[in-house]
Structure 1
Amino acid sequence: MIRESLKTWRNVTEQLVRILDEREEEKRDAIIAQIEDLLNQRDVLQSSIQEPFTDEERSFGQELLPLEKILQAKLKVYMKDIRLDISDQQKKKVSVHAYMDPYNQVFRDGTFYDKKK
């Protein structure tokens, strides 16, 4: 007999894997909210998954390990995508600012620097 908490853990993990496959930027905020909610559910379930385990639960747990590895890999890729988008936005912000004020980096103290010697 497998505990209900283990079955729920698997269902939540499968939902996370499915959600992480979506790449639409328009829905990113909603997807992140769903991911946080599902990860919180897993945290709550983790406290109810304690030893002793039956043989059936051990084999069920061994089936969950590859799914957990897939989830961890997808979470890393998703976080990397978010970081790349943030850095791209910061670069765009700097380049737009430089375009709007191209003489911001020019020395304005009235001195002339001769490059020839």
Structure 2
Amino acid sequence: MIRESLISWRKATEMLIRILEVQDEEKRDSIIDKMDKLLEERETLKSAIQAPFTEEELAFGQELLPIEKLMTEKLELFTKEIRFDITDQQKKKVSLHAYMDPYANVFRDGTFYDKKK
């Protein structure tokens, strides 16, 4: 007999994988909210999953390993995408500011620098 906490763990993990497959930037906030809830649920289930395990539970755990690895890879990819988008937005902000005020970085102290040699 497999414990309910292990079955719930697997369901939460599979839900996370399905959620992480959505690549819509407009839905990113709702995806992050769902991810947080599922990760919190997994955290609470973690305390219920304690040894000793039956042979059936050990076999079930071996089935969970590739699913866990896939979920971890998708989470890392999702966070990398978010980081890339943040840095991209920061670059756009800087370039927009430079476009709006192109003389912001020019020395305005009245001195002339001759660049010819």
TM-score by length of 2: 0.98
In 2: Cα distance, 1:116 partner to 1:92 partner? 33
| Partner Cα distance (2:115, 2:89) in 1 | 35
Residue 93 (structure 2) pairs with residue 89 (structure 1):
no
1:79 aligns with 2:79: yes
Give distance in 2, aligned partners of 1:11 and 1:63. Answer: 13
Structure-2 separation of matches of 1:33 and 1:21: 15
- For residue 17 of structure 1, what is the aligned residue in structure 2? 17
Which string of whole-angstrom CA distances, capped at 9 and with x for unpartnered residues, describes residues 12-52 of structure 1? 00000000000101100000000010000000000000000
Q: Deviations over 1:40-97 (max 9, x none)?
A: 0000000000000000000000000000000000000000000000001000100111
Partner of 2:99: 99
Q: Distance in 1 between matches of 2:107 and 2:114?
A: 13
| Aligned mates of 1:102, 1:64 — CA distance in 2 | 56
Aligned partner of residue 50 in structure 1, secondary structure? coil
- TM-score under structure 1 normalisation? 0.98
Q: Percent identity?
A: 65
Cα distance in 1, alignment partners of residues 75 and 23 from structure 2 = 12
1:67 correspondence with 2:71? no
> How far apart in 1 are the matches of 2:22 and 2:43?
23
RMSD of the alignment, in Å? Answer: 0.6
Q: Where do 4+ consecutive residues of structure 1 move more than 4 Å?
A: none
Aligned to 1:28: 28
Point out where structure 1 has 5 or more consecutive residues left out of the alignment: none
Q: How many Å apart are 1:114 and its aligned residue?
A: 1.1
